[in-house]
Amino acid sequence: MIRLVLLLSMLSLGTMTAAQDAEEAPKASEAEQPMTYERLGKIIFVLDPDAQPRGPGFELSVAGVPIIVVTDPVADRMRAMVPIRRADELTSEDMQRMMQANFDTALDARYAIANGTLWAAFIHPLSPLEKDQFISGLAQTVNIAKTYGTLYSGGAAQYGGGDSGNLQRALIEELLKKGEEI
């Protein structure tokens, strides 16, 4: 009973603190305008002035990595993709590692297979997509393409509870062990 009272007191205090914080926080600016093909294009051309419009999308380069962005306003979707390699060359170990990364280190980007190609992809509804989400999603897509075969990382954070941390720690331990011989 004492635990229940203590728990309820803590929850009430947490709720009051959250409400007080919300009152004291500055008012958020107005929400961004819905994302459209045109607005997406403006963002893309800031990121890469040499980007090219292609049908319902764009081709651009970020950090030397070519990216294809495709939009479908009718379905309210967008997809940013980086080709990595032929899918028919993937081993079962490659597939397992990519699925582990999709769970904890790829973040908002994902490894995917389509049309015989392994892709790094960021897929999101178009209209609610915010500028910073798009830019972050592009960066994560580039990062998982660049780290394929090594860290398989979107580059920002890592969710706990997955396998990637232990696998990355195993590499560190292996190198430290090799370093002991020096």
Residue 118: enclosing H or E segment and its boundaries?
strand 117-125
**Residue 164's pLDDT band (cuts 50, 70, 90):** low
pTM here is: 0.72
Average pLDDT over residues 135-155: 90
3-class DSSP string for 33-66: CCCCHHHHHHHHHHHCCCCEEECCEEEEEECCEE
Residue 154 pLDDT class (50, 70, 90 cuts)? confident
Confidence label for 180 from pLDDT (cuts 50, 70 and 90):
low
- 71 token code pair: 């939009």
Confidence tier at 158 by pLDDT (50, 70, 90): low
Mean pLDDT for the chain overall: 79
**pLDDT-based confidence at residue 155 (cuts at 50, 70, 90):** confident
Name the more confident of 85 and 28: 85
Contacts for 25-29: CB closer than 8 Å, 24+ residues apart:
none
Q: Do residues 69 and 58 touch, judged by C-beta distance below 8 A?
A: yes
Q: Which domains does the chain have, with CATH numbers?
A: 37-180 (3.30.1460.10)
Residue 77 pLDDT > 60, yes or no? Answer: yes
Q: What is the pLDDT of residue 151?
A: 86
User: Phi then psi for 20, rounded to 5 degrees?
Assistant: -65, -45
DSSP 61-97: EETTEEEEEEEETTTTEEEEEEEEEEGGG--HHHHHH
Q: Residue 136 in contact with residue 108, Cβ under 8 Å? A: yes
Lowest mean pLDDT among 21-25, 52-56, 62-66, 165-169: 21-25
pLDDT score, position 32: 85
Q: How confident is the model at residue 95 (pLDDT cuts 50, 70, 90)?
A: very high
